[in-house]
Amino acid sequence: MSDTENRESTGLWVKPKRKWLLGIPLGGVIAFALGAIMLGMTNYVLHETSTTEFCYVCHSHENFIKPEYEASSHFSNLSGVRAGCSDCHLPHDNWFELVWTKMVVSLDIIPELAGKLDTAEKYAAHRAEMAESVWRQFKENDSKFCRSCHSIDAMDLEGQERRTARQHSRAAEQGETCIDCHHGIVHEEPENAAEIIERLQAEFAPRESGL
C-alpha cells in the first residue's frame, strides 16, 4: 500500500485524494447553476426589453407613434389579438438573432440622448429614412415578422374578396412579400412612401427572381 503511494507521488501529476476528485462534478454543478442563473437573467432582460412599455420609454411621444399605433387594427380588432411593437420588429425564432438585434438596438440610446427624435418635426424629418430601413429589413427577411401570425396558407381565400384572394394567390406564387402591398398599416407613412417602395422593389427584383 505505502509502496504504491510512493510511486504515485514521484510523478509530476500527484493523484489527488479521492475526496478532492468530488470537486470535478461539484464544480460542474456550480458552473451549471451559475450558467442557468445568468441565462435566466439574460432571458429576463430580453423579456422585459421586449414589451411595448419598454419601447414607449423612447417611442411614446404623445403626438406620433403611440396614437398612430393605438388607432391601428393591430392594437385593437374584432378578434382581440394585439400585435405589440416587438411582434413586428424583433426576431422571435432565433435566440442569437434576438440577442444580437438587442445589442445593436441598444446603441439607439445615443441618438435618443442627443434628442434626435424628440419633437414631431424631427420625427417627421427622419421618418422616411427609418421607414425605408424597416422596409428593407422586411424585404430581406420576406416579412417574417408578419408571418409569425399570418400565413397565406392559413387564409380562407374563398372568403376574401375576389381581388384580394387573387392578389394573395399571386403573392404566394410569385414570392411577393407582405410589405410590397401592405405598408403604413400601423404608422403614418412618409410622403414619398410609394417612391421608396418602388425603388426597393426594383432593387430586390433581380434577387427575388434568382438572377
- Using CB under 6 A, list all residues that contact ligand HEC: 50, 52, 54-55, 57-59, 65, 69, 73-74, 77-79, 81, 83, 85-89, 108-109, 111-112, 116-117, 126-127, 130-131, 133-135, 143, 145-150, 152, 160, 164, 167-168, 170-171, 176, 178-187, 189
Closest approach of ligand HEC to the CB of residue 57, in Å: 5
Do 86 and 51 contact (CB within 8 A), yes or no? Answer: yes
Nearer to ligand HEC by C-beta: 9 or 77?
77
Nearer to ligand HEC by C-beta: 2 or 209?
209
Q: Can you say whether residue 190 is alpha, beta or left, with left for phi > 0 and alpha for psi between -120 and 50 degrees?
A: beta
For 77, list phi and psi in degrees, rounded to 5.
-155, 175
Integer Cα distance of 61 and 207 in angstroms: 38
Contacts of 178 (CB under 8 A, 6+ apart): 138, 143, 146, 147, 150, 171
Closest approach of ligand HEC to the CB of residue 37, in Å: 24
Nearer to ligand HEC by C-beta: 15 or 207?
207
Integer Cα distance of 63 and 72 in angstroms: 15
Closest approach of ligand HEC to the CB of residue 165, in Å: 8
Integer Cα distance of 40 and 32 in angstroms: 12
Nearer to ligand HEC by C-beta: 86 or 91?
86
Nearer to ligand HEC by C-beta: 41 or 109?
109
